[in-house]
Structure 1
């Protein structure tokens, strides 16, 4: 499926076939594509928690408004990010770059993130969102449906998955075989309502 078709066809599907399973190869493909998503300074701070334990899924569902996608989708990914990835051996993100480029980037990373917790969190959320969209479009291209999800007690979900203190949850992505066509689009805004030229 070409990317334009995937973008037009992708919808947030709420009902999944609970008996369907993705193959290991399909999961590997999805994750490999998600890991091509861009991040600022190439710090790749997203972390993907694949929730496979049925009891853990039940507990996450209980902490997430009892949304059926959590237990019924073939694949549930908790999209997380390491808020401190910028200072954890950042040279590894630029190991293939020339030394002078690497040193310049490392200095810029430190200057941009150090002491700026809001920037660290904002960048984490942006990166999770970009990676989630990549996952959903990749799933669509493979013939699967998906749903980006929040409506959760992320503090409780973090406790359930053992989220480290310096990490944050951005959202969930549920992927699988939908069993019901999504409803018609509820009401897209017009281009005039959302596009501005130069200034508001």
Structure 2
């Protein structure tokens, strides 16, 4: 599918064909695409919990106040972020760079994030947002629909997935074949209302 068509047609679909599965080839293509998403300093904060267990899906559905897509979609991901990834063997993130680049970036990374909890969290959540959009567009390109979700009890979900200390949950994403089309778009603000030039 053409990229711009995928952008136009990607919608938050709530109802899925419950018996439809994603092929292994499509899953691999999807995740290979997601892993190419950009992150600051190439830190790759994201951590994806792929939920395949039926009982676990039911528990997550309860934590999401009964939303059907949690159990019915072919794939369900809890998109998380390791807030401290910047300080976890950071040499990994520049391993393929020239030595002079590594020598420059590693101290810069430390200086940018060290003792700056808000920046650490903001960056981790930004990374998840970019990866999530890549995931949804890649899914659409493969012929699937998706639904980003923030409507759930975060404490319950964290407990169910055994979220490690220092991690945050960004969202859940359901992916599958639509049973019903998404509702019409609620109303897009005009460009003139959301963009200014040079300053507000």
TM-score bracket, normalised by the shorter chain, equals over 0.9
Q: Which residue number in structure 2 is paired with residue 26 of structure 1? A: 26
Count matched residues: 200
CA distance in 1 between partners of 2:12 and 2:137 (Å): 11
Runs of 4+ in 1 over 4 A off after TM superposition: none
Alignment-derived partner of residue 4 in structure 1: 4
- 2:38 is aligned to 38
Gaps of 5+ in 2: none
Cα distance, 1:45 vs structure 2: 1.1
Instruction: Kindly state the Cα deviation for residue 177 of structure 1 after the two structures are TM-superposed.
Output: 0.2
Q: Structure 1: how far apart are the matches of 2:155 and 2:129?
A: 19
Q: Which whole-Å CA distance do the structure 1 matches of 2:164 and 2:184 have between them?
A: 40
Shift of 1:37: 0.3
Query: CA-to-partner distance for each residue in 1:7-56, whole Å, 9 max, x for gaps?
Result: 01111100001111101111111111000000000011101110011111
Matching residue of 2:17:
17
Q: 1:79: which partner in 2? A: 79
Q: CA deviation at 1:145?
A: 0.4
User: Where do 5+ consecutive residues of structure 1 fail to align?
Assistant: none
Aligned to 1:193: 193
Matches for 1:28-177 after TM superposition, within 5 Å: 28-177=28-177
Which secondary structure state, in structure 1, belongs to the residue aligned with residue 127 of structure 2? helix
Report the CA distance between 1:186 and its aligned residue.
1.2
Structure 2 length as normaliser, TM-score? 0.98
Three-state SS of the structure 2 residue aligned to 1:79 is: strand
Distance 1:104 1:156 in 2: 42
Q: Distance in 1 between matches of 2:186 and 2:149?
A: 18
Q: Secondary structure at the match of 1:109?
A: helix
When the two structures are superposed, what TM-score results if normalisation uses the length of structure 1? 0.98
